[in-house]
Structure 1
Amino acid sequence: MIKRILTHNFSLLNVDAVKLDFRWNYKNVVSPYHRIYYIAGGEGEISHFEKKLKLESGYLYIIPSFTLCNLVCSGSLDQYFVQFFGESSDGISLFAENRSIFKVPAMEIDILNFKRLLLINPGRGINRSDDPKIYEKDVFYQEYQELNHQQNTAQFLETQGILLQLMARFSGPEIITQRERQQIPVKILDTISHIVVSLHLPLSVTSLAARIHQNSEYFSRLFQQYTGSRPLAYITERRIERAQYLIMTSNAKYADIAQQTGFENLSHFSRTFKKITGMSPGEYKKKHSAQT
């Protein structure tokens, strides 16, 4: 159990305590990282399709990565927030089976954790703008990742520990619905790592199986057993997630994104993108850029 949990690690992006007003009003926000809010005063609202949650004092909220939502504050809102990337050795998000927004009552330790996170990670607020279309750019991600590299060992471990504690507040079975997994074989973990760094290359079941000296059919069944997806479906999902990230954080042409994510051509990329997201790349970009 402990080994399974600790396969997840986190990379801090932003943390701050802010006072928001009516200008905090953004639609169709979708980010490649997790967000957790603690509301210290005032009120607002976050919504995900038909699900709406009132932002109330004394509660914690999470918006998992790649969860489309709207953010609204009609009056004032005192908010602690942390934004961070999540990674796992099996390439599967904790919220892969349930990408939505969630709310839990805050405890005293949560407030202390936010304050401690702020203390050991100074200068990690969003100083340019609170508009996602401005601060969600690859150059800013790189800037904050460099700050992570500058953390000493104590700061790094304590930051990881606090993020784990905050994530644990949303680990109930009604939220984390992933099935229990056995310890993943080394060859499958190695294949997942290879896929993640090789999305731009041609990948096939035959080549992946040959790489770890296994029969293709046996490899495919084993891969599905430990990831929940057949290899080609898994590869496609990771490619589209990477494409979403590139569309949101760069000005790359769709043809270049198709090439960087391993699609044969722009037409194949566009069809697959729409099949998985329900929108064409252009519609996805326009919707994201229309945050006002």
Structure 2
Amino acid sequence: MNKQLLKHSFQLLNAEYVKLGNKWNFKNVISPYYRLYHIDEGEGVISSPGVKLKLRPGYLYLIPSFTLCNLFCEAYLSQYFIQFFEESADGISLFLNFRKIQEIEATVQDIECFKRFISINPGRGINRSDDPLVYEKDIYYKEYTKLNNLQSIAVQYESQGIILQLISRFLKPEIFHHDKQINIPSAIMDSIGYIQINIGTVLKVSDLADKANLNTDYFSKLFQRHTGQSPVAYILQKRIERAQYLIVTTNKQQVEIAQMTGFENVQYFSRVFKRITGLTPGAYKAQNKYLT
């Protein structure tokens, strides 16, 4: 079996069939987890910078984690949905280089997958509100994490299989070229893992290069070749992604989040956050949404 297939796993947050109205109207939603929809009735719109998709019955829609989007329903919309976190052995998201809203036509098998998934994961709906600002709270994440831990191993395996099957429908050949799946050298893999574990500490490229027993310049070139980013850009991206998660899921103050994600002061943290996400940490926390 290709070991590449074993790199990614997914942890369930919510899953349910819902009927929505015009209160489903949220802007600048940018969450640390994936959203997967199947629309069976009505109409709606998902949009993001440069992309606007009409939600149509008979189609699947995927919103990768950390993808800025707007959600809108004018009158009526019913959908099956699954929300889930991604975990990967090397810390690299499956959709790292393609964080865009995607649409494909649903098959009978896709629809059965949604129904089966919800049937084996009962009680996983968003019962309090459809508003991400309400349900994206640390206490609710902990609640659903506890439910995951209570699942039987059979349900865990089947749930993983269904998410993988649905995700596979979006792995389009024109985007995910097999010949581009080059094995990452162990030195770079080890560095990525070290960054993930130590994201809240001082991380110097020279130290990473030393740990890999490589010249700093060569290490930087090798890192960029296999990740698409320089070590510095990668570290900042991972710091901000972790900060986004903390802002969304906890009530921690900006100063504390800056410290936890390795920034030397809150001002620098705020500047980098805005440069990467387009929003200040305060605006991100207050809105978690809206971009027309």
Shorter-chain TM-score: what band? over 0.9
Change (3 A) 1:177 1:241: farther
DSSP 3-state at the match of 2:47: strand
1 CA distance for matches of 2:264 and 2:177?
A: 34
2 CA distance for matches of 1:176 and 1:144?
A: 32
Contact 2:200/2:259 (8 A) holds in 1: yes
What are structure 2's unaligned runs of at least 5 residues? none
Report the counterpart of residue 70 of structure 2 in structure 1. Answer: 70
Residue range with higher mean Cα deviation, 225-234 or 215-224: 215-224
DSSP 3-state at the match of 1:40: strand
Letter in 2 for 1:240: I
Contact 1:98/1:177 (8 A) holds in 2: no
Report the counterpart of residue 43 of structure 1 in structure 2. Answer: 43
1 CA distance for matches of 2:290 and 2:60?
A: 27
2 CA distance for matches of 1:247 and 1:176?
A: 31
Report the counterpart of residue 59 of structure 2 in structure 1. Answer: 59
TM-score normalised according to structure 2 size: 0.92
Letter in 1 for 2:277: T
Count matched residues.
291
Letter in 2 for 1:223: F
Give, in angstroms, the shift of residue 232 of structure 1. 1.7
DSSP 3-state at the match of 2:200: coil
2 CA distance for matches of 1:79 and 1:140?
A: 22
What are structure 1's unaligned runs of at least 5 residues? none
1 CA distance for matches of 2:46 and 2:221?
A: 40
Report the counterpart of residue 12 of structure 1 in structure 2. Answer: 12
Please list every run of at least 4 consecutive aligned residues from structure 1 whose deviation after the TM superposition is greater than 3 angstroms.
173-179, 212-215
**What is the alpha-carbon root mean square deviation over aligned residues?**
2.0
Contact 2:27/2:289 (8 A) holds in 1: no
DSSP 3-state at the match of 2:128: coil
Letter in 2 for 1:128: R
Report the counterpart of residue 182 of structure 2 in structure 1. Answer: 182
Give, in angstroms, the shift of residue 176 of structure 1. 4.5
- 1:119-176 CA distances to partner (integer Å, 9 max, x unpaired)? 2111111111111100011221122122222222211111111001110111104554
Letter in 2 for 1:150: L
Contact 2:29/2:289 (8 A) holds in 1: no
Report the counterpart of residue 272 of structure 1 in structure 2. Answer: 272
Identity across aligned pairs (percent)? 54
